[in-house]
Amino acid sequence: MSTIAAAPTPTGTAPVLEVTDLVVRYGRGGRNAPAAVDRVSLRIAPGETVGLVGESGSGKTTIGKAILGLTRVAGGSIRYGGRDITHAGPRERRSLGGELRAIFQDPFSSLNPRRTIGASLAEPLRIQGIPAGEALQRARDMLESVGLPAEAVSRYPRQFSGGQRQRIAVARALITQPELVICDEPVSSLDLSTQAQVLNLLADLRADRGLSYLFIAHDIAVVSFLAQRVVVLYRGQVMESGPSREVTENPRHPFTQALTAASPVPRPAEQAERRARREASGVKPAGIVDTAGVGCPFANRCPLATELCRTERPALRALGGAEVACHYATE
């Protein structure tokens, strides 16, 4: 692993995470296999939350897995704290200690149903060589930090509700005092009021501990609740990125406009207005896909598409405070 100084983030500090031109391909075909992630770049500053939003299948989880070293990277680079971890093996990953952690949609995937909560929470600490008694005490303290009783250490995952299990998953991710947490749809399986509780918990823990998050979700409203900056993905490519307010209140890319119009809102009147806006925009529903593989990936669903859009991939360019990949987007 080499250590070189990373370029500063917009706030002037060195990024915790810097992903540059990331490419991930699945299946056979080598360089000819279609890219699930196609030249994606993003940076996260210390204490910053970056939201990654897009439809199902757009490559969000794949980006998270590449950062965590759980899938092979075909191109580009991933730097964590200035270190190149793009192709880091398990041993090099372990040397990162508990600095880089993850929370997934289904807490059952991170909590072994046959182990007590205490054993599951202590495990990442035991791997770091922390004695059993101390690890268990830290598990008890961590459970209290996420709003659960310390006695939960002696119980099993099935004895908790979905929301409580997700709190336990948060506790397990944070027990090693990480710098960066990859949150992949951490509230998508929860009902609305439990979603709000877990989102508030993540916000409080971030404030207390100065954490950085990469927060992945398909709902732009959920993402923008926590994230200072948002990256909008469509079929493995970045369509738009920028400050959350900028992207949600003044979406410049036709896909982001469709996404903000589609995001569920609690007030029916606002929902009806959004639906009317979406219908007026002429954006075609999901499912109509471009098979050409060149040009703008959104061309077959975009009401503004021209011949240029079908033949030339639009580069990301600065517009206002955001970056937008559309030939025709304006400030």
Q: In the complex, which residues of this chain contact ligand ATP (CB under 6 A)?
A: 26-27, 36, 54, 56-62, 218
DSSP for residue 1: -
Shortest Å, Cβ 185 to ligand ATP: 6
Q: Does 309 bind ligand SF4 (CB under 6 A)?
A: yes
Whole-angstrom distance, CA of residue 165 vs CA of residue 106: 9
Q: Does 314 bind ligand SF4 (CB under 6 A)?
A: yes
Return the one option of ligand SF4, ligand ATP, Mg ion, none that residue 82 interacts with (CB less than 5 to 8 A, by type).
Answer: none
Q: Which lies closer to ligand ATP via its Cβ, residue 55 or residue 123?
A: 55
Return the one option of ligand ATP, Mg ion, ligand SF4, none that residue 309 interacts with (CB less than 5 to 8 A, by type).
Answer: ligand SF4
Alpha helices in the chain (DSSP H): 60-68, 90-94, 117-127, 132-145, 162-174, 192-209, 220-226, 244-249, 254-262, 268-281, 307-311
For the CA atoms of 207, 153, 68, 202, what is the dihedral angle to 10 degrees? Answer: -20
Nearest residue (beta carbon) to Mg ion: 61
Return the one option of ligand SF4, Mg ion, ligand ATP, none that residue 165 interacts with (CB less than 5 to 8 A, by type).
Answer: none
Return the one option of ligand ATP, Mg ion, ligand SF4, none that residue 12 interacts with (CB less than 5 to 8 A, by type).
Answer: none
Judged by CB under 6 A, the residue of 246, 254, 261, 283 near ligand SF4 is 254
Q: Does 305 bind ligand SF4 (CB under 6 A)?
A: yes
Return the one option of ligand ATP, Mg ion, ligand SF4, none that residue 62 interacts with (CB less than 5 to 8 A, by type).
Answer: ligand ATP
Q: Which lies closer to ligand SF4 via its Cβ, residue 150 or residue 304?
A: 304
Provide CB contacts within 8 A for 200, sequence distance 6+: none
Question: CA angle at residue 96 from 105 to 63, to 5 degrees?
Answer: 40
Stretch that binds ligand SF4, among 9-17, 105-113, 243-251, 297-305 (CB under 6 A): 297-305
Shortest Å, Cβ 92 to ligand ATP: 23
Q: Does 61 bind Mg ion (CB under 5 A)?
A: yes
Whole-angstrom distance, CA of residue 240 vs CA of residue 53: 10
Whole-angstrom distance, CA of residue 250 vs CA of residue 212: 25
Judged by CB under 6 A, the residue of 148, 231, 299, 322 near ligand SF4 is 299
Q: Phi and psi for 237 in degrees, rounded to 5?
A: -120, 150
DSSP 242-288: EEHHHHHHS--SHHHHHHHHHS--S-HHHHHHHHHHHHHHTPPPTT-
Grouping H, G, I as helix, E, B as strand and the rest as coil, residue 83 is strand
Residues binding ligand SF4 (CB under 6 A): 253-254, 296, 298-299, 302, 304-305, 309, 314, 326-328
Residues binding Mg ion (CB under 5 A): 60-61
